[in-house]
Amino acid sequence: MIRCAVVTESIDPAVLLAEVTTRATGATTLFVGTVRNVNEGRAVTGIAYSAYSAMALEEMERIACEAAQQFDGVRVAMEHRVGLLVLEEISVAIAVAHARRAPAMDASRFIIEELKRRLPVWKQEHYVDGERVWVDPTATPVPVSAA
Amino acid sequence: MTQLQVLLFASYADAFGASTVTVTVPEPATSADVVTALRTLPGGNALPAAPVIAVDRRYTRGVVPVHAGQEIALIPPVAGG
């Protein structure tokens, strides 16, 4: 079972958990990514997420299929949100269930790492001082004190 | 010569001031031709040395053929999660 979505409304992790859990799944993991208040030393008020939605959905499904191939029997439900999110809101949630805990946990880790590496989603951080910056994980971070 | 539409996102869309641009490239065209043409447009200097290109919603590697009717997109460094 695999379900992936790019959503514009709040993510409800309980829904994802309910989707993947069955009588046969003895282990369920839930990864939840949320907007935190500081990045690279700068105070953040929110993050605007944008996506190449059609490709993001297909890439999520490819990643989930790869997880299912590596970890036979996993059930995966995941959602990534786009739009302006404020602090503590959920940007991504991944529920993975399996009969055993090791495949469930390993598949969850695999999926979030691949999402971070491959998902065509971008975030523009909004800082307390009003500046907005596209996050570039490939750029060398510049300490605020040296900026 | 042929014209191709290219999808732009995030920082690239900001740099070019548009989410879609049209480039004129030789026929048969490659992804390298698309990047070369994009560099001649205002905002083109924002592109890195080897920008990532997706064709029909899949990442490409190296130089690949492209043609009208395909969904060609330039992918800035991703930052999901």
CATH code, domain carrying A110: 3.90.1170.40
CA distance A66 to chain B (A): 15
Tell me if A141 is assigned to some domain: no
Domains and CATH numbers, chain B: 2-75 (3.10.20.30)
Look at B78 and A118 and tell me if their CB atoms are within 8 Å: yes
Q: Which letter does DSSP use for residue A123 in this model?
A: E
Beta bridge partners of A50: A122
Tell me if A66 is assigned to some domain: yes
Tell me if A73 is assigned to some domain: yes
Tell me if A24 is assigned to some domain: yes
Tell me if A116 is assigned to some domain: yes
Chain-centroid distance of CA A132 in Å reads 21
**CB neighbour list of residue B78: distance below 8 Å, 6 or more residues apart:** A116, A117, A118, A119, A120, A121, A122, A137
* Residue A144 CA: distances (Å) to CA of A20, A42, A43, B47: 43, 7, 11, 25
What is the end-to-end Cα distance of chain A in Å, rounded? 48
Reduce the DSSP state of residue B35 to 3 states and report it: helix
Tell me if A84 is assigned to some domain: yes
Taking only Cα atoms into account, the Rg of chain B, rounded to an integer number of angstroms, comes to 12
pLDDT in tens, chain A (147 residues): 999 999 999 999 999 999 999 999 999 999 999 999 998 889 999 999 999 999 999 999 999 999 999 999 999 999 999 999 999 999 999 999 999 999 999 999 999 999 999 999 999 999 999 999 999 988 765 544 443
- Residue in A50, A119, A138 nearest the CB of B9: A50
pTM of the model: 0.93
Tell me if A137 is assigned to some domain: no
The domain in which residue A123 lies consists of: 2-129
Tell me if A142 is assigned to some domain: no
Q: What is the ipTM of this complex?
A: 0.95
